[in-house]
Structure 1
Amino acid sequence: MEAAAHGWDVGIDHAFADGEERALAEAYRKMSPLVYTLALRSLGERAAADDVTQEVFIRAWKSRASYRPEAARLPAWLIGITRNAISDALSSRSRQRDLEQAAVHLVSDPTTNPSAKDVEAVADRITLEEELERLGDPQTAIMRLAFYEDLTHDQISSRLDLPLGTVKSHIRRSLSRLRTRLEVEHGTP
């Protein structure tokens, strides 16, 4: 009742959970301005806020089977996904900035004499970041949580609101794809 009083048709919750595309369209129409505003305030860039907004609804739709309307209204669930997507975007931005600073420091600081090993380590890290981006979501988000935050499969499942089996499958397939791509790129047999 309370959600209906604020302009939210609670029937959308069940329709969304049932996989009805019209419910996704309606949820996007009603919630995307709020999602975008939250992302813009947190990230400070329109393009990043656009990306997060799109990511939120992609994640929501892909994980709709785990949504339980009796446990939470769809707007609340979407805001939870928004918080995670913003956090992921901020983490990604921070990692990228750290990598760029490390690379600049290695090549521009006359007091350091970077070894080939140091330069190669930064180059490998940048290559890994690029390859993770190519995986697409949710694989990119899953692999970053595993690699950079050292989360367990269970923790990743909870954080992204994905079934545990799905997380394990994505990790297995993503590692295989990364191995193949990196072996091809670096000519490793």
Structure 2
Amino acid sequence: MLDDVPHDNEVSPASRQQALLERVAAGDKQAFSDLYDEVAPRVFGLVKRLLVDHSQSEEVTQEVFLEIWQTATRFDPNKGGATTWILTMAHRRAVDRVRASQSSRDRDLKVGIRDFSSDYDHVTESVEVSVEHERVEKAMARLTELQRQAIQLSYYGGYSNSEVASILSVPIGTVKTRIRDGMIRLRDELGVAS
């Protein structure tokens, strides 16, 4: 079985990782173990840079490798290398964890304020959230399709500018310009002071 995967001195690590990932897609447990040994330190390092917390970083790294095992058949070498695919997945999971933690803290704070305040009004809060959501949706609809796409991938999808460039198959400078112009237009549409 190990002869199916080229040895380190024969090909680049990227080619070896791609071959391993293809074998993982076929259900090869040994290939998964080998792939884990090769990329786990990089995955953990990326996740830890974003999360800082060691325990959460270990959890997210485990989640990433579970996702690799479950979705390896979706890997398309025509869209990028195996390592890029794996690290994109790790980045996305880490950003999701950061957002979930922040959202949880925000909810706890809001509940604390509500519980502290005797004149808290659920209806008013619901209306405010609904109106704000509507305003943002209308403002997003006024962007060009290219600006909206770049902003959604970056801010809602959690992708870095280089990942957005890769997904959209455009230069990174183009992505930065679309996001900058889109954010300026959103600011103007929403009437937010700069």
TM bracket (short chain):
0.5 to 0.7
In 2: Cα distance, 1:46 partner to 1:75 partner? 22
2:32/2:69 contact within 8 Å kept: yes
In 2: Cα distance, 1:17 partner to 1:86 partner? 23
Match of 1:9 among 16, 41, 52: 16
Question: Following TM superposition, by how much is the alpha carbon of 1:46 offset from its aligned partner in structure 2, in angstroms?
Answer: 0.6
- Counterpart residue identity of residue 113, structure 1: D
Question: Following TM superposition, by how much is the alpha carbon of 1:14 offset from its aligned partner in structure 2, in angstroms?
Answer: 2.3
Using structure 1 for the length normalisation, give the TM-score. 0.54
1:114 aligns with 2:120: yes
Distance 1:105 1:4, change over 3 A: farther
The DSSP-based 3-state class of the residue aligned with 1:84 is helix
Who is 1:67 aligned against? 75
Distance 1:16 1:70, change over 3 A: farther
- Counterpart residue identity of residue 106, structure 1: R
C-alpha RMSD of matched pairs (Å): 3.0
In 2: Cα distance, 1:52 partner to 1:3 partner? 33
Instruction: Extract unaligned runs of 5+ from structure 2.
Output: 1-7, 127-155, 158-194
- Counterpart residue identity of residue 102, structure 1: K
1:16/1:23 contact within 8 Å kept: yes
Match of 2:88 among 80, 87, 99: 80
Max radius of gyration: which structure?
A: 2
Question: Following TM superposition, by how much is the alpha carbon of 1:70 offset from its aligned partner in structure 2, in angstroms?
Answer: 4.9
1:103 aligns with 2:111: yes
Work out the percentage of aligned pairs sharing the same amino acid.
18
1:60/1:78 contact within 8 Å kept: yes
The DSSP-based 3-state class of the residue aligned with 1:113 is coil
In 2: Cα distance, 1:65 partner to 1:7 partner? 18
Using structure 2 for the length normalisation, give the TM-score. 0.52
In 2: Cα distance, 1:47 partner to 1:27 partner? 22
Distance 1:81 1:39, change over 3 A: same
1:31/1:75 contact within 8 Å kept: yes
Cα deviations across residues 46-78 of structure 1 (Å, max 9, x unaligned)? Answer: 111011101111111111121124543322210
2:64/2:89 contact within 8 Å kept: yes
The DSSP-based 3-state class of the residue aligned with 1:9 is helix
Who is 1:25 aligned against? 33
1:36/1:53 contact within 8 Å kept: yes
Deviates more, 1:54-63 or 1:6-15: 6-15
Report runs of 4+ in structure 1 exceeding 6 Å deviation.
none
